[in-house]
Each structure stands twice: as structure tokens, then as C-alpha cells.
């Protein structure tokens, strides 16, 4: 069994439940992603997977949802 991998992204522009749903849906569709937790107060998106997930794919999904990853 593969170890769970967690990555945390700081995302700008999220302000409401709709934002949370958009980001969760887009990032959840990335191959290998098993969970997405969005924290509006901290502007953090925590992505879990059962192995490495392509960072560029997660960033593209957040962008597709209409938000920006802050490095």
C-alpha cells in the first residue's frame, strides 16, 4: 500500500462556499488525488493522494477554478 502524500497550496481569491466547491471539484478531478480540503480563513488548499501528484496539474486545476496559487 502506498503512503499518503499531502501537499498544501496557498490560494488567493476564495471568499465563499461556491469558491470552496469550485476548487474542490477541479482539484478533485486531478489524476491521483484522493482528497481536497479547503480552508477559507487560512486560504489553504490541502491535497491528499496515494502517491505523488503532478504539481502543475493541481496548479492548473486551481487556475481553471478561477483562483491563483501564491508561492
Domain count of the fold of the chain: 1
Q: Collect the ranges in the chain with pLDDT lower than 50.
A: none
pLDDT at 2: 61
Residue 5: CB atoms within 10 A of its CB come to: 15
What CATH number should be reported for the domain holding residue 21? 3.30.70.100
Rounded CA-CA distance 37/24 in Å is: 7
pTM of the prediction?
0.92
CA 11, CA 30: separation in Å to the nearest integer? 17
Query: Residue 56: which domain range?
Result: 5-70
Amino acid at each position: 500500500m502506498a503512503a499518503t502524500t499531502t501537499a498544501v497550496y496557498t490560494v488567493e481569491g476564495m471568499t465563499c462556499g461556491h469558491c470552496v466547491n469550485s476548487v474542490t471539484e477541479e482539484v478533485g478531478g486531478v489524476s491521483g488525488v484522493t482528497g481536497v480540503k479547503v480552508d477559507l480563513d487560512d486560504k489553504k488548499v490541502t491535497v491528499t493522494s496515494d502517491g505523488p501528484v503532478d504539481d502543475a496539474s493541481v496548479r492548473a486545476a486551481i487556475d481553471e477554478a478561477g483562483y491563483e496559487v501564491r508561492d
